[in-house]
Amino acid sequence: MSKINEELMIKSVRFSNRLGMSPMCQYSAVNGFAGDWHLVHYGSRAVGGVGLILLEATAVAPEGRITPYDLGLWDDAQIDGLKKITDFIHAHGAVAGIQIAHAGRKASHDSPVNGSAQLSAEQGGWATVAPSALPFDANEIPPLELDEKGISEVIAQFREAALRSLKAGFKVLEIHAAHGYLIHEFYSPLSNKRTDGYGGSFENRIRLLLEIVEAVQTVWPADLPLFVRLSATDWTLGGWTLDETVRLCEILRKKGVDLIDCSSGGNVATARIPIGPGYQVAFAEAVRNTGIMTSAVGLITTATQANSILQDGKADMVLLGRELLRQPYFALTADENITWPDQYLRAK
């Protein structure tokens, strides 16, 4: 049996194998509500055999959306549509997880298919917020600098979204603290120029994330897994580094976080990222050496590649992104022992 098909227990949750679906925005929601596209999209990957499905970045507030088409969990009315999805995922043997997020200064943009440009108020956009009034791109409208009241509101929004995630039936919660979105903007010295208790030193810059983790833990059950997605480096001189990531993960492990979803970049528009097969796996390995579990991501496209990462102890899970867009049933052919749906056995 390959390492891919080995079960994994995290707290009370059993994952049938070590493959998962990485969060990927679908830009298909209406006013934050999930629809038929989301049910079919995520349901197909559950039928396709992966052990974990992490739903896309789901905004904790309307102004926290990347685009007007993002999923949201700022309203109790949004729970029912997501509950249909989690019920289907669990009925087909996968575990449903969700990534809750606030886009910060990278909010209020059009969808990628429409060019991803920042939206003006006349185009349906809204004012964005950040740790400092620095735009992601020099041509964009600067964000509003959050005051301490605004920071407290963001923390409360994450807590309420976590509670709604639980009511929607999710068994894994991931806090999105990567890719240049709000939490990442706070811990990176390139986007955080504050001089108060949330800026300056390493301890101050990571404070927002730690306070969000603590707030979420007041409503998220202790026996269900809590993940955090981090950008391990800004890929830019003077920015956030892998050494700082390792230091942060040692703290998160002691705080009760179960797994770090190791990504990188996204906070600097001009960063030069050496993209290639498995280019982020080394980050997962370095973080895993602190004693916390990790997932590896980043141009992992073959079963051999995924199995090697797991066999070599570089990560505990492999999350696939684009490859699962291309092949929803990737897992069924990645390991001959992964359980096929009864309805598809004639094709095995």
What are the catalytic residues? Answer: 181
Backbone phi, then psi, for 318, in 5-degree steps?
-120, 125
| Distant-in-sequence, close-in-space partners of 287: CB < 8 Å, separation ≥ 6 | 230, 232, 245, 246, 249, 260, 262, 294
Amino acid at 306: A
Q: How far apart are CA 260 and CA 296, in angstroms?
A: 9
Going 23 to 25 to 26 to 31, the CA torsion angle's sign is: positive
Q: How many CB atoms lie within 10 A of CB 192?
A: 21
Residue 96 forms beta bridges with which residues?
Answer: 53
Alpha-carbon distances, residue 301 vs 97, 182, 191 (angstroms): 22, 29, 33
Burial of 275 (0-12, 13-18, 19+ CB in 10 A): exposed
Q: How far apart are CA 207 and CA 192, in angstroms?
A: 12
The torsion defined by the Cα of 71, 233, 189 and 151, in degrees rounded to 10, comes to 30
Report yes or no: 189 and 240 within 8 Å, Cβ to Cβ: yes
